[in-house]
Amino acid sequence: MDRLSEALGGPRFWIKRDDCTGLATGGNKARKLDYLMAEAKAAGATAIVTQGATQSNHTRQSAAAAAKLGMACHILLEDRTGSDDFSYNANGNVLLSRLAGGMMTKFPGGTDMAQEMERLAGELRAKGEVVYVIPGGGSNATGALGYAECAHELLSQADETGLEIDMIVQPTGSSGTHAGMVAGLTVMESDIPILGLGTRAPKEKQETMVYDLAVRTLKRLDYDGQLDRARVQANCDYVGDGYGIPTDGMVEAVQTLARLEGLLFDPVYSGKALDGFLKLARNEQFAGMKNVVFLHTGGSSAIFAYPGAFGAQPV
Ligand SMILES: *Cc1c(COP(=O)(O)O)cnc(C)c1O
């Protein structure tokens, strides 16, 4: 990101374009679904059941993956923001999930979504469906393997181009992406620091979630060493009033990258992480480093669910 690097006065900032992974636009859930849907297919699944927030990118990409494999996709949406705005409830990821044939049901905030998924899976099984349940965000050890693979891909690309990465920065939410990256770097014996920028939970809780899942993912990879707890670092100072609620910093950050690099970020995850990233850069937190990579997890289809926050108006 040459123009951003120049605007911030260095170091060189790079971007890993996981917003270009495909599956009804793109985003980080595609790599997790590679592994999750392979399991579903191996189990002979005819339907998947999954859950997320109203504007979940994960459920949108799940609907696309299920469509591609000829499976039914049942989506349980949790109303985490309480917004009654039409765009929030109907446009963006909701619209794209609907286009791909996703069957959506909405639940109030605070619902035990895992329990609701099991209840629906039971009903579908009683009707003869073979059901594969995917946890929120696709964040279990199977899904996280997709990000262990991403870590491998990133380091291979860095090797090929002679890029020495001083740090990786990324959004962290339901934790599979961060945990998979940590697991991947660990098995490759890479000590590149990785910083997760939080989008929901406070730091301590986020780091514990990521650490626990990274340990389970390392087990899946037959790694028999210990994972140092200090390997998992999160900064959760840029969430604002809560999950999915826009902040001024997020809007400014999304605008900045659109204008400097022609890149799109999202209001819930990558845009809030980007806000933190820009503020850390301005506060010289990357001083002394040469190359910092931002892992772009996608989500820009959610921009259309937040037209007001971004100042949408007729020309
Ligand atoms: C889900 C999501 C994240 C967070 O990834 P987790 O694996 O849930 O931590 C980040 N960015 C976008 C755009 C997402 O959809």
What pLDDT, in 10s, does the model give residues 261-304? 999 999 999 999 999 999 999 999 999 999 999 999 999 999 99
Most ligand 1 atoms within 8 A of CB, residue of 32, 54, 58, 174 to mutate = 174
Q: How far apart are CA 73 and CA 60, in angstroms?
A: 10
**Model confidence band, residue 175 (pLDDT cutoffs 50, 70, 90):** very high
CA dist 168 and 155 (Å) reads 11
pLDDT of residue 269: 98
To the nearest whole percent, how much of the chain has pLDDT over 70? 100
Measured CA to CA, the distance from residue 214 to residue 207 in angstroms comes to 10
Atom of ligand 1 nearest to the CA of 147: 7
Please tell me the predicted confidence (pLDDT) of residue 249: 98
- Give the pLDDT band of residue 217 (cuts 50, 70, 90): very high
Q: How many Å apart are CA 232 and CA 200, to the nearest integer?
A: 17
pLDDT at 218: 98
Integer Cα distance of 23 and 211 in angstroms: 28
Average pLDDT over every residue of 87-110: 98
Report the nearest-CA residue for atom 8 of ligand 1. Answer: 174
Buried-exposed string 259-274: b where 16+ CB fall within 10 A, e elsewhere: ebbebbbbbbbbbbbb
Q: Please state, in angstroms and rounded to a whole number, the distance separating the CA atoms of residues 182 and 145.
A: 11
Per-residue pLDDT at 271: 98
How far apart (Å, rounded) are the C-alpha atoms in residues 201 and 224? 29
In angstroms, what is the span from residue 171 Cα to ligand 1's centroid? 7
| Cα 202 → chain centroid | 17
CA 250 to chain centre: 16
In percent, the amount of the chain with pLDDT more than 90 equals: 100
Is 56 among the catalytic positions? yes
Rounded to the nearest angstrom, the distance between the alpha carbon of 151 and the centre of ligand 1 is: 16
Q: Please tell me the predicted confidence (pLDDT) of residue 189.
A: 97
Q: Which of 17, 86, 30 is nearest to 63 (CA)?
A: 30
Q: What is the DSSP code string of 108-163?
A: ETT--HHHHHHHHHHHHHHTT--EEEE-GGG-SHHHHHHHHHHHHHHHHHHHHHT-
Q: Give the residue, by CA position, lying nearest to ligand 1 atom 13.
A: 299
CA of 127 to the centre of ligand 1 (A): 33
Tokens encoding 135: 């946890």
**HSE-CB for 227 with a 13 A CA cutoff:** 29
Q: pLDDT (tens digit, 9 = 90+) per residue, 18-54? A: 999 999 999 999 999 999 999 999 999 999 999 999 9
Q: What is the pLDDT of residues 53-70, one digit of tens each?
A: 999 999 999 999 999 999
Residue spans of alpha helices (H) in the chain: 2-8, 29-42, 57-69, 86-90, 93-99, 113-126, 141-161, 176-187, 203-220, 248-261, 270-282
pLDDT of residue 268: 98
- CA-angle at 136, arms to 170 and 132, nearest 5°: 130
Q: What is the mean pLDDT of residues 223-239?
A: 98
Average pLDDT over residues 79-108: 97
Q: Tell me the CA–centroid distance for residue 27 and ligand 1, in Å.
A: 8
pLDDT level of residue 186 (50, 70, 90 thresholds): very high
User: In which residue are the tokens 């690309």 written?
Assistant: 157
Q: Which of 56, 87, 175, 300 is catalytic?
A: 56
